[in-house]
Structure 1
């Protein structure tokens, strides 16, 4: 559990697996990817090539090269000699458990198996790894992981503390921002926060506002602040000179009253139909690809600004008092 991680095995090269691949290559790592889809290799290499200008703009690490990518449809061949496996298979517990049984047999016990699963718990997944469940951990990214640096790390009932620490150190070493969950929760943390917000699709379903108005309210209101600081610290600022203590004094009553009126929508076919129509009206003629390009371009600018600010803040840090 102490050897350095320099060679990554990628299982599954869909949207998340391909994005992980691009990130690892940009960080100067060796990557071997595997996927049984007939056109998987061509699609993966095209994704990496398309993502490369953005990664170059953010700054490539020493040794970064697209030529460090190898591909094999054979699982055993792909995983020979890897130091960490980033698993991006389908979100089906039966599939995961069977796969982890195979990985458990193929890999030396000091190779971490990290799952990108967005909702399944590692306690269930690692039941498939009978010999070495202690090296299995959730390392859940946010789409697209080659741009968004968040990684949620959570172990299962049989995951060792050494695995969790080593995984956290690895992701931090390549510039990712890690959040450790001290206990398992379905959907982890970031997706649960999104899900809490998503409950208010009730506002669209009830005709209070359109999907476009919901997105305007979010992206040009609290979303702008959330791109800078998290909600907890923003509440601290919202309390003025009195900070978080004054915030609770002022807003506990109104906020808890709002909670009581939050919607609890059931996504019936009719509700889905309303939401779909409203989202398409908002998107207009813009394709999925065009929307993704727009998202990524603004996201790059925000990341560059935050990195610049973080760098200047570190330079301004006062010297410790002797």
Structure 2
């Protein structure tokens, strides 16, 4: 069990606000800092908006929006908390500068998780006084609903600290995936990026529209992946012998040049195809309404996943 009671959130954009919503729903005290004008007002508006989804997911006793405090300096935000979630823009120079400041002012035993989607932990640990306590803690949008968080340590990280971090994220109803070897982009984003690159090629070559790509995932692979993921899905494709037969039967096809692993050149023409396709697909529905529909769907889908896959080890 985690003994973290108070957390700091540094950077309150989409991801930072998602973390704040989840932390508050799990009964934690949250201290937030973001130097941008209007940051506190935007955060409180977001939290109020997503609170019904958080209630449907289930809240911890004592959960309250009133447990959020905004402060005017980073030093004040991190000086008296047990865990710090950093969510500043995805630029190495900015992150390292902010992490240096956090490291100087945080309690010696406070853990610092960076929400970076691509930078490796060892890089973030460079030149810090306490490098071992900085880890990658990469979530997925919307953070207040989706439970996966990728945890990656750097060269200075020890196993005990990673266990503490894992226990903390489990305590706020997340499913931490501890990745034992660093790689750019971690794991889940690399998988999504491969599909994204192939989708761009299919649209660019005039084979399908953006709406047709989405339909191919929604009504095909996506439904199966939500329950079992790609490996067990293919395991079932092999019949009674499972993956053994699947690889024997379909393995040779892996050599065929079906996919284009490198991304296409992002020309103005391709940009317009993608933009116009998405805008046509969405129609006149506002982004806020699409987000609400997505959230309602994800809450219901998570219930199904838990019903059919309760033995997951993460």
Q: Which structure 2 residues correspond to residues 121-132 of structure 1 after superposition, within 5 A?
A: 121-129=120-128, 131-132=129-130
User: In structure 2, what is the equivalent of residue 293 of structure 1?
Assistant: 292
Describe how 1:194-233 pairs up with structure 2 within 5 A: 194-200=192-198, 201-233=200-232
RCO higher in structure (CA 8 A, sep ≥6): 2
- Number of residue pairs matched by the alignment: 311
Alignment of 1:224-243 (within 5 A): 224-243=223-242
Instruction: Say if 1:254 and 1:261 are closer, same or farther in 2 by CA, change over 3 A.
Output: farther
Q: Which runs of 5+ in 2 are unaligned?
A: none
Q: Counterpart of 1:140?
A: 138
Query: How far apart are 1:251 and its partner, in Å?
Result: 0.8
> Counterpart in 2 of 1:75?
74
CA RMSD after TM alignment: 1.8
Deviations 1:41-71 (A, max 9, x none): 1111111111111111111112211111111
Which runs of structure 2 are paired with 1:255-294 in the superposition (5 Å)? 255-259=254-258, 264-294=263-293
Give the alignment's TM-score, normalised by structure 1. 0.92
- Paired residue secondary structure (1:96): helix
Measure how far apart 1:307 and its partner are: 2.9
Q: Compare 256-265 and 18-27 and name the one that shifted more.
A: 256-265
Shift of 1:234: 0.9
TM-score, normalisation: structure 2: 0.94
Matched, 1:20 2:19: yes
Larger deviation, residues 270-279 vs 169-178: 270-279
Task: Show structure 1 runs of 5+ residues with no match.
Answer: 315-322
1:285-320 deviation digits (Å, cap 9, x = unpaired): 122212211211111110122234456x79xxxxxx
**Equivalents in 1 of 2:11, 2:263: separation in Å?**
35
Match for residue 192 of structure 1 among 183, 190, 193: 190
Q: State whether residues 116 and 138 of structure 1, in contact with CA within 8 Å, keep that contact through their aligned partners in structure 2.
A: yes
The C-alpha deviation readout for 1:256-307, integer Å capped at 9, x for no partner, is 3154666741212222222222222212212221221121111111012223
TM-fit CA distance, 1:148? 0.3
